Amino acid sequence: MPQYQTYPSKPSPDAGDIFLILDPADLTDSSEGTTKRTTVGAVVGHGHSGFSATLGQYLDTASLQASVDALMALTYTLPTIALTASPAPSLREKGDPVGAVALAAVTLRRSDAISAVAFYRDGVLLGAVAAPQAQGGTETMTDNGGFSDTVTYTSIVSDGTTTVSSNAVSYRFVYPYYFGVGAAGLTAVQVAGLTKAIIAQAPSKAVTTSPSGEVFYFAYPAAYGALSSITDTNGFETLADYTQRSATITGLDGTAQAYFIYEFNQPTSQTLFTNTYKL
């Protein structure tokens, strides 16, 4: 049977001995008047066997390291990575270019040391970090390519065992909506001079205006399809009170784009009147 010892009475334990540490908070047992002892481990090279209250199961280990690993429940965990970009990603009008983009990937080591970090643009390698921080940190890279159409950036981190991808950061570009009020029969160029909104294709768009003897206009890229409904500020269906026509409007990028223009059939005067246009 192993010999129980107290430190420092035996500073150099023999194989098979068990270390005992006195509990400084309560050195005596009130019922027995004996010194309390806490077993913390066996000499290196010797394991443990018996029921573990911590794990709730029978434990039989071959070494002290195995015992510690079992008690700590050490498991492999993936590294993490989060990507950000500057300027902040946003919805932009086609023809409004983005210049240099500063990328920053925040990595965190979990189990194994980080060995690789890289950045991608639309799935194509932009560049790899020469000496990534093993414990994790902020890795940076700048894309000076410039662009004026949709681009998506991602990054990856590897610990030599697993490669993890970051979130995606995207810059999106669209052709605008135009809406407002004006005289009847405005040309496409004149309609493009009304309020311009850089918005993504949406199921509906509410527009509030105050016409004075004018008609309502609503125009958007024809690729989105025809409107299915137009309701006024009182909730009445008014689609039949508009005339739809096809037209070409030149975008900021200099290209001719097909648009649908909806024009209200009768001049009207209203104050803060809301029409809701639905695809």
Q: What is the per-residue pLDDT for 4?
A: 42
pTM above 0.85, yes or no: no
The candidate with the shortest Cα–Cα distance to 217, out of 196, 202, 248, is 196
Give residue-wise pLDDT tens across range 137-159: 999 999 999 998 899 999 999 99
Q: What is the per-residue pLDDT for 40?
A: 39
Q: Residue count of the chain, please give it.
A: 279
Q: Which two tokens stand for residue 215?
A: 């008609």
Give residue-wise pLDDT tens across range 214-239: 999 999 999 999 999 999 999 999 99
Q: What is the per-residue pLDDT for 37?
A: 37
Q: Which two tokens stand for residue 157?
A: 């981190």
pLDDT band at 1 (very low <50, low <70, confident <90, very high): very low
Report long-range pairs for 38-44 (Cβ below 8 Å, ≥24 apart).
Answer: 41/67, 41/68, 42/2, 42/16, 42/17, 42/18, 42/67, 43/13, 43/14, 43/15, 43/16, 43/17, 43/18, 43/19
Give residue-wise pLDDT tens across range 60-91: 777 777 776 666 666 789 999 999 999 999 89
Residues 188 and 247: beta-carbon distance below 8 Å: yes
Q: Which two tokens stand for residue 243?
A: 């005339």
Mean pLDDT (the chain, rounded): 85
Most confident of 45-54, 88-97, 189-198: 189-198
Residues 185-206: what's their mean pLDDT? 95
- pLDDT exceeds 70 at position 132: yes
Residues 204 and 227: beta-carbon distance below 8 Å: no
pLDDT band at 108 (very low <50, low <70, confident <90, very high): very high
Give residue-wise pLDDT tens across range 246-277: 999 999 999 999 999 999 999 999 999 999 99
Report how far residue 216's alpha carbon sits from residue 230's, in angstroms, rounded to the nearest whole number. Answer: 11
